Structure 1
Amino acid sequence: MRNRTVGINVRVTVTEKKKVTMLAKKCGLSLSAYLRQRALEYEPGGHPPKEVFNVLDKLDEIAEGCTPATCAEIGTCADRLRDLLIGGN
C-alpha cells in the first residue's frame, strides 16, 4: 500500500517542465519519482537506450555458438559491459 498521501505543488515554466520530464525519462523514472529522488539528494543515473540491451543480447547469442572457452570469455566481457552500463559492481 502506498504511504504517500501528501502532495507538494511547485510552479515551473513550460521549458523547465519539458527539461525535467526529459531528464526523468532518460533515467527511466516517472516525473514524480525523479523529483522525489532529486529532492531527497539522490542523483538517479541515466538509463541506457534499448539498443544497448539489444547488443548485449546479441553478444550472448554469439557466445552460445562458440567453443566453451570462447563462450566463457565472451560471456565475461558481456557481463562486464552490463555492469558498466547499468550500474552493477
Structure 2
Amino acid sequence: MRKRSVGINVRVSVTEKRKMTLMAKRCGLSLSEYLRQRTLGYEPGGHPPKEVFDVLDKIDEMAENCQPSAGAKITACADEIRDLLIGGN
C-alpha cells in the first residue's frame, strides 16, 4: 500500500527561509526533512566533515608513538572529541 503524504504551506519571510535552508544544509537534510524533525521536537545537528575524523585518526596514530602514559592521555582526549562530535555522552 502506498504511503500518502500531505503538504502544509507555511508562510515565512525571505530571511527566515534563508536561515532555515542554511540550517538544513548544515545538518545534511532537505528543508522539508529539517522542518519535519523540528516539528516533532527533535533538534537536528550538523555532521562534521570527514576531514575532522581523519585528523582525529592521525592524532591516534601519533599517540601510539608517544610514551605510554602520554599516548593514553592523547587517545582519551581524541575519543572525548569524537564523542562530543557524534552526540555521545
TM-score after normalising by structure 1? 0.70
Q: Distance in 2 between matches of 1:28 and 1:37?
A: 13
- Paired position in structure 1 for 2:73: 73
- Paired position in structure 2 for 1:47: 47
- Paired position in structure 2 for 1:62: 62
Percent same amino acid at aligned positions? Answer: 73
Q: How far is 1:23 from its partner?
A: 1.0
Q: Deviations over 1:4-52 (max 9, x none)?
A: 6222222333322211011112223221221001111222234335553
- Paired position in structure 1 for 2:23: 23
- Paired position in structure 2 for 1:84: 84
- Unmatched segments (≥5 aa) in structure 2: none
- Unmatched segments (≥5 aa) in structure 1: none
Moved more, 56-65 or 18-27: 56-65
- Paired position in structure 1 for 2:36: 36
- Paired position in structure 2 for 1:13: 13
- Against the structure 1 CA distance between its residues 56 and 36, is the aligned structure 2 distance closer, same or farther, given a 3 Å change threshold? same
Aligned residues: 88
Q: Distance in 1 between matches of 2:66 and 2:47?
A: 30
